[in-house]
């Protein structure tokens, strides 16, 4: 299938957009959700300003030949590894939540027939970047000839267990689908997302979800976020961890039956706070054993005043929930004074983190 793009007339209310004229006819304009989150008390605090600004982010802002999109990070509240599959992957049940730490992507249409990738992290400025691979896959699937430049302002730490690369890839699929009004069904998007990576399907919807299988079976959960977890402090130890290495070295004795994720899902759906002992990550014991920097960071977080600390994904990032801003700020300051990379974030629900296409 070959799709041709034309540039439409634009006005203040109706920005220029590209659309595949042969298939879809006259374009309609996308509605962009306005996220009226205002928090003046946060803006006064230097250490929180970064997050406050990000909370005002919009999704897929289109202006002429340019499209901006935010890609939000996630944490794993639970991660049950059920067993190893015949295809080499592991069967999972995991409860994930998007957070307001995000990368910013700017897409620009170009005259040449290729995908250009420019990233603020130089080692990611190449076509192997999952964001570039998402654009390439989509162009191949639909035999598109329209070129695109991807500029990626990276803020989410890389190889940190926060899903940054996966989120970038999902954001590219969603943004190009919206912007170019591509004839893709939810199943097409899910199929492409799954082929890009196990976490990518989750980021098509974001918010709070139970993800099963390899990660591609995504069930949204009620977004009643407990006040006891209003603030999330992330600590990123100064190492990177390859997910494949963690899974490969995981002993069978660390496998679980999926009950932690099911119990936590039920708690969220009932609007109650999950029990601390159910916020279990099957990879954590092994990561703490093999990476002493992570074990030390967990100890330091607890000593600084966190009451619950868990590993996100395969790490090394740890997260700790807090009910009160004054308390989390004290802990953050103490850890920053110790030289740690810390982020104060909050959970984002679908209208902020990512809009659902389903
Ligand atoms: O799917 P993705 O490329 O993000 O996964 C990275 C690595 O993590 C895989 O190569 C695999 O080793 C491991 N993994 C796994 N089972 C999963 C997800 C990831 O074994 N469900």
Q: From ligand 1's centre to the CA of 242, what distance in Å?
A: 10
Structure tokens belonging to residue 317: 């990032």
Cβ pair 19, 6 in contact under 8 A: yes
**What is the C-alpha separation between 197 and 287, in angstroms, rounded?**
21
Cβ pair 335, 328 in contact under 8 A: no
| pLDDT tens per residue across span 231-251 | 999 999 999 999 999 999 999
Q: From ligand 1's centre to the CA of 311, what distance in Å?
A: 17
Cβ pair 35, 58 in contact under 8 A: yes
Atom 2, ligand 1: residue with shortest CA distance: 197
Atom 12, ligand 1: residue with shortest CA distance: 244
**Residue 244 CA, closest ligand 1 atom number:** 12
Maximal CA-CA distance, the chain = 62
| Mean per-residue pLDDT of the chain | 84
**Catalytic site residues?**
74, 199
Residue 222 pLDDT grade (very low, low, confident, very high; cuts 50, 70, 90): confident
Residue 351 pLDDT grade (very low, low, confident, very high; cuts 50, 70, 90): low
Across 225-230, average pLDDT: 92
pLDDT > 90: percent of the chain: 78
**pLDDT of 21 over the 80 cut:** no
CA-to-CA dists, residue 120 to 71, 103, 150, 240, 255, angstroms: 15, 10, 11, 18, 38
| pLDDT tens per residue across span 118-170 | 999 999 999 999 999 999 999 999 999 999 999 999 999 999 999 999 999 99
**Residue 200 CA, closest ligand 1 atom number:** 4
pLDDT value for 45: 28
pLDDT > 70: percent of the chain: 81
pTM tops 0.75: yes
Q: Directed axis angle between helix 292-304 and helix 325-337, to 10°?
A: 130
Could you report how far apart the first and last alpha carbons of the chain are, in Å? 24
Q: Is the CB of 315 under 6 A from ligand 1?
A: no
Q: Is the CB of 215 under 6 A from ligand 1?
A: yes
Cβ pair 288, 205 in contact under 8 A: no
Q: From ligand 1's centre to the CA of 79, what distance in Å?
A: 13
Q: Is the CB of 242 under 6 A from ligand 1?
A: no
**What is the C-alpha separation between 155 and 142, in angstroms, rounded?**
31
**What is the C-alpha separation between 319 and 308, in angstroms, rounded?**
8
Most confident of the ranges 22-26, 233-237, 345-349: 233-237
Atom 9, ligand 1: residue with shortest CA distance: 244
Q: Is the CB of 79 under 6 A from ligand 1?
A: no
Across 15-20, average pLDDT: 35
DSSP string, 257-296: -SHHHHHHHHHHHTT-PPPGGG--BTTHHHHHHH-HHHHH
Structure tokens belonging to residue 259: 């009950």
**pLDDT of 41 over the 70 cut:** no
Cβ pair 353, 209 in contact under 8 A: no
Q: Please choose, from the candidates 354, 358, 356, 357, the residue with its C-alpha nearest in 3D space to the C-alpha of residue 72.
A: 354
Atom 4, ligand 1: residue with shortest CA distance: 197
CA-to-CA dists, residue 134 to 59, 193, 209, 355, angstroms: 18, 8, 22, 18
Q: From ligand 1's centre to the CA of 98, what distance in Å?
A: 19
Atom 10, ligand 1: residue with shortest CA distance: 244
Q: From ligand 1's centre to the CA of 42, what distance in Å?
A: 37
**pLDDT of 353 over the 50 cut:** no
**What is the C-alpha separation between 205 and 334, in angstroms, rounded?**
35
**What is the C-alpha separation between 336 and 329, in angstroms, rounded?**
10
| pLDDT tens per residue across span 60-79 | 888 888 999 999 999 999 99
pLDDT top residue among 312 and 59: 312
Cβ pair 100, 94 in contact under 8 A: no
């Amino acid at each position: 299938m070959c799709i041709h793009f034309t540039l439409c007339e634009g006005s203040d209310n109706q920005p220029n957009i590209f659309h595949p004229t042969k298939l879809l006819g006259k374009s309609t304009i996308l509605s962009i959700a306005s996220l009226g989150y205002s928090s003046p008390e946060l803006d006064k605090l230097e250490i929180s300003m970064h997050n406050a600004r990000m909370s005002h982010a919009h999704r897929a802002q289109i202006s002429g030949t340019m499209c901006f999109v935010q890609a939000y990070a996630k944490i794993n509240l639970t991660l049950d590894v059920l067993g190893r599959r015949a295809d080499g992957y592991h069967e999972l049940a995991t409860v994930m939540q998007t957070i307001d730490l995000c990368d910013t992507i700017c897409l620009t249409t170009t005259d040449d027939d290729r995908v250009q990738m420019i990233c603020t992290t130089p080692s990611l400025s190449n076509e192997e970047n999952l964001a570039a691979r998402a654009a390439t896959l989509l162009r191949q699937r639909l035999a598109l000839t329209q070129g695109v430049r991807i500029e990626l302002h990276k803020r989410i730490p890389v190889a940190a267990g926060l899903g940054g690369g996966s989120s970038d890839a999902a954001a590219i699929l969603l943004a190009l689908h919206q912007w170019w009004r591509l004839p893709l069904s939810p199943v097409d998007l899910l199929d492409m997302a799954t082929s890009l990576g196990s976490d990518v399907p989750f980021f098509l919807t974001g918010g709070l979800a139970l993800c099963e299988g390899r990660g591609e079976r995504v069930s949204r959960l009620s977004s009643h976020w407990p006040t006891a977890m209003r603030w999330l402090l992330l600590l990123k130890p100064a190492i990177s961890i390859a997910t494949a290495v963690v899974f490969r070295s995981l002993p069978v004795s660390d496998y679980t039956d999926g009950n932690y994720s099911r119990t936590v899902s039920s708690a969220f759906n009932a609007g109650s706070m999950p029990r601390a002992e159910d916020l279990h990550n099957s990879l954590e014991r092994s990561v703490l054993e093999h990476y002493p920097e992570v074990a030390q960071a967990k100890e330091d977080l607890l000593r600084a005043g966190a009451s619950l600390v868990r590993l996100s994904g395969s790490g090394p990032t740890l997260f700790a929930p807090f009910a009160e801003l004054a308390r989390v700020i004290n802990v953050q300051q103490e850890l920053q004074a110790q030289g740690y990379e810390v982020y104060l974030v909050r959970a984002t629900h679908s209208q902020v983190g990512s809009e659902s296409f389903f």
